[in-house]
Amino acid sequence: MRNHDFKIIAFVFLVHLCLSGGTRQALAQAEKGAYPAMAPVDQYLIADQNSEIALARSAAPPAISDAAEVMVLGKQGFTTAVKGTNGFLCLVERSWGAATDDAEFWNPKVRSPICFNPPAARTYAQIFLLKTKLVLAGKSKTEIVAATAWALDKQEPPPLEPGAMCYMMSKQQYLNDRGMSWHPHLMFIVSGDAAKSWGANEPGSPIIALNDPEERATVFLVWVANWSDGSPAPERSTTAGFFSDTLPILSQRSAEFFPPTNSRR
């Protein structure tokens, strides 16, 4: 595994050859925002490990998260703090869980508790763990994009498994400066650009779709009525506009990364 990580990090000197001009322009625009560069590493860490474990577990109901593996972030990356027994993986994502052209990619305030089900833990979560290693190695956004693409081409991490999904139901979550805790929701992850086949983002549809071409997946978000502790969530009408400025951006990125072809996985 260490050799694999070294190969990925060593690869990034070729990144500018791997990206289109449009992608580089989008990254440059994101770097002009409130978070143009990575903050000191300590700002992304949670000093008390037990607090981070509790926050990670708050992503899902206790019946799920109490038996899950829990990982915590250190200066060298995520490590397992609690071994699980049910195949789920819970951790607190930081801001680089977003796409690299997101204006808050470096926001040190972001704390996004998430619990991956077994198929997602084996596949989708590994992309975030890889990005974390690249971030902590000091790689730029451009290098992260290219290294992630290289790893996915090599199927390291392995291809997304059917049935991959995640819980994000923590009342303590801070997703970004716009939405803050937003709303408890479930996420279903499907390979490629699959929004239309789910009827997502259509008027009256309860499903929000976010294409992430960098990770070659579509993430479907479905609101749920309660936080993981059982308390009621905000009314849907108070949160409906959260992604209003995000969807057009993702649609544009999707067209660039997902050309009309049947070859992508």
pLDDT digits (tens, 9 = 90+) for 86-135: 999 999 999 999 999 999 999 999 999 999 999 999 999 999 999 999 99
pLDDT over 70 for what percent of the chain?
A: 77
| Confidence category of residue 247, pLDDT binned at 50, 70, 90 | very low
Question: Which is more confident, 181 or 263?
Answer: 181
Residue 254's identity, in one-letter code, is: S
pLDDT tens track for 218-232: 999 999 999 999 999
pLDDT of 51 higher than 50: yes
Handedness of CA 216, 93, 165, 129 (dihedral sign): positive
| Confidence category of residue 235, pLDDT binned at 50, 70, 90 | confident
Q: Please list, in sequence order, all residues whose beta carbon lies within 8 angstroms of the beta carbon of residue 73, skipping any fewer than 6 positions away.
A: 44, 45, 46, 52, 91, 92, 94, 132
pTM of the model: 0.81
| Confidence category of residue 33, pLDDT binned at 50, 70, 90 | confident
Mean model confidence pLDDT for the chain: 84
198: left (phi over 0), alpha (psi -120 to 50) or beta: alpha
Q: How far apart are CA 85 and CA 68, in angstroms?
A: 6
Question: Which is more confident, 28 or 103?
Answer: 103
Q: Taking the CB of residue 170, how many other CB atoms lie within 10 A of it?
A: 27
pLDDT of 150 higher than 60: yes
Q: How far apart are CA 25 and CA 95, in angstroms?
A: 20
pLDDT of amino acid 234: 87
pLDDT of 42 higher than 90: yes
Distance of CA 216 to the CA centre of its chain: 12
